[in-house]
């Protein structure tokens, strides 16, 4: 091996054999924000053979506090995150092949890409896409590493198809909040803690040391000095539609996906998620971001030059744009 990886190969669980395996593996990272950019840098520096990056967004100044691959010039130029990340990563290690996709991830676009990967890392910002990722990976038998963080908290779990609970199983057991970075903020150390767990698990999988994998869900709150690992083996549900004995992968069907459409002549995008929302709970979260108006039927707010209206059935209207991409970006920032 070259001197580039000399300190890594001195680490006995990796060694020369493990380094060779890392160099032959292909990792897909879904999302190039805080978690995605940091995981990507860790894996490129570790010498991963190929990295596929997927993200639909561009760099903004507010990203720079925690998204370590990007610079002020990237934000000024509004470069797509995938483009900016790929350029920086190739400077860090020209030996890694990097494939970038500036796109909105869907079941149709993800499946052919994950099919080529040895591992997927979740670095997205919403559960709609996570559920699709979960179903695709279960269907193809590809391991993936869940990660999320907001405020000073975070969690991570390694999902091994056919061997343990999937994301759907976990969420039937472990509650999650709807908080987002835009509603309650985030500190960079929380990002780095989740990344440390994700990248370490990734290296274990890449060198094929499955016995070293952490079988538990890890959660923490750095500000309140809480750290917990939770055994979730019993959460695996044999009747789970995503990973059970008769799995049907529900989030890959059209009916289960979030649907969007531009409303003719109204400069408005309608978003129809696959679930209902509690307007009372949503109002409490959104009031931290901007003033909210509500009545018995809907609530509305102004955000990022657009006016958003939310209904009991889950629908949202994003007034002030005909861009589905912009509307979805705003929606997920607020809803999570």
How would residue 284 be classed by pLDDT, with cut points 50, 70 and 90?
Answer: confident
What is the pLDDT, as a whole number, of residue 177?
64
What is the pLDDT, as a whole number, of residue 94?
97
Is residue 16 pLDDT above 60, yes or no?
yes
The whole-angstrom separation of Cα 334 and Cα 125 is 10
pTM of the prediction? 0.83
DSSP E strand stretches across 81-152? 97-102, 119-122, 144-150
Percentage of the chain modeled with pLDDT above 90: 65
Is pLDDT larger for residue 275 or for residue 310? Answer: 310
Q: What is the mean pLDDT of residues 99-123?
A: 93
What is the pLDDT, as a whole number, of residue 176?
66
113-129 pLDDT tens trace: 999 999 999 999 878 88
What is the pLDDT, as a whole number, of residue 281?
85
Is residue 318 pLDDT above 70, yes or no?
yes
What is the pLDDT, as a whole number, of residue 256?
67
Is residue 135 pLDDT above 90, yes or no?
yes
Q: What average pLDDT is seen over the chain? A: 91
Q: Give the residue among 138, 139, 136 at the shortest CA–CA distance from 164.
A: 138
Quick one: the chain helix, strand, coil %, rounded to 5?
40, 25, 35
162 burial via Cβ count (<10 Å: 0-12, 13-18, 19+): exposed
Is residue 257 pLDDT above 90, yes or no?
no
Is residue 166 pLDDT above 90, yes or no?
yes
What is the pLDDT, as a whole number, of residue 181?
78
Gyration radius (Cα) of the chain, Å: 20
Is residue 201 pLDDT above 70, yes or no?
yes
Q: Are strands 50-55 and 26-30 parallel, antiparallel or unpaired?
A: parallel
Is residue 159 pLDDT above 60, yes or no?
yes
Is residue 188 pLDDT above 60, yes or no?
yes
Domains of the chain and CATH, by start: 3-252 (3.40.50.720), 258-335 (3.30.310.10)
For residue 200 the two structure tokens come to: 């370490």
Residues 6+ apart with CB under 8 A from 306: 318, 319, 320, 321, 326, 327, 330
Q: What is the mean pLDDT of residues 149-167?
A: 95
């Amino acid at each position: 091996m070259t001197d580039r990886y000399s300190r890594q190969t001195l680490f006995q669980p990796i060694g020369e054999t493990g380094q060779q395996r890392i160099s032959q593996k292909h990792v897909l990272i879904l999302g190039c924000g805080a978690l995605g950019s940091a995981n990507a840098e860790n894996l490129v520096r570790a010498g991963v053979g190929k990295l596929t990056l997927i993200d639909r967004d561009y760099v903004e100044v507010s990203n720079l506090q925690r998204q370590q691959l990007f610079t002020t010039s990237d934000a000024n130029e509004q470069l797509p995150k995938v483009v900016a990340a790929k350029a920086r990563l190739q400077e860090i290690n020209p030996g890694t092949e990097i494939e970038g996709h500036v796109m909105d991830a869907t079941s149709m676009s993800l499946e052919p890409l994950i099919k080529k990967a040895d591992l997927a890392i979740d670095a997205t910002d919403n559960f709609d896409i996570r559920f699709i990722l979960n179903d695709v990976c279960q269907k193809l038998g590809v391991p993936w590493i869940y990660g999320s963080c907001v405020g000073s908290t975070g969690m991570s779990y390694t999902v091994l198809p056919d061997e343990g609970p999937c994301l759907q199983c976990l969420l039937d057991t472990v509650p999650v909040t709807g908080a987002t970075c835009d509603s309650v903020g985030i500190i960079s150390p929380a990002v780095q803690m989740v990344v440390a767990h994700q990248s370490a698990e990734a290296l274990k999988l890449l060198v094929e040391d499955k016995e070293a994998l952490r079988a538990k869900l890890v959660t923490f709150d750095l500000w309140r000095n809480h750290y917990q690992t939770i055994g979730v083996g019993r959460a695996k549900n044999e009747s789970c539609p995503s990973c059970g004995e008769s799995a049907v992968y529900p989030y890959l069907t059209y009916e289960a996906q979030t649907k969007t459409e531009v409303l003719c002549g109204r400069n408005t995008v309608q978003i129809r998620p696959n679930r209902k929302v509690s307007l009372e709970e949503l109002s409490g979260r959104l009031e931290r971001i901007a003033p909210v108006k509500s009545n018995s039927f809907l609530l509305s707010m102004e955000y990022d030059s657009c006016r958003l209206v939310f209904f009991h059935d889950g629908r949202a209207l994003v007034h002030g744009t005909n861009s589905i991409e912009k509307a979805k970006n705003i929606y997920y920032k607020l809803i999570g």
